[in-house]
Structure 1
Amino acid sequence: MFKPLAFAAAVLAATPSFADVSIKFVSKDAADPVLTTSVTTDYATGALNYLNAATGSFQAYCIEPAQPFAISAKGFKTYSVGSFTGTQASLLQGLYSSSFGSVHTGNQQAAFQLAVWEIVSETSGTPLKIATGADQGSFYLASTDGAANAVQALATHYLSAAQSYSGPSLYSLTKLSNASYQDLVVATTVTAAVPEPETYALFLSGLGFVGLLARRRLPR
Structure 2
Amino acid sequence: MDSVREEIIDYKLGRECFLWSFLWLGTYFISEAFLKPNHIDYFNNWHFFSLLFILSPILSTGLLSQIDNVRRAFLEDRKIAYVLALFVVFIALGLSINYYFPVAETKNNYFSEIKFLYPYLVFQTSFTKGVDVLFQQIMILNLILILKEKIKSEVKVIATFGVIFFLIHLPLVIAMSYTAFLFIIPSSIAGFIFSNFILKFRYGLVYSIATHFCFYLLIAIGLRYIF
Instruction: Looking at secondary structure, tell me which structure has more strand per residue.
Output: 1
Instruction: Looking at secondary structure, tell me which structure has more helix per residue.
Output: 2
Larger Rg: 1 or 2?
Answer: 1
Q: TM-score, normalised by structure 1?
A: 0.30
Q: TM-score, normalised by structure 2?
A: 0.29
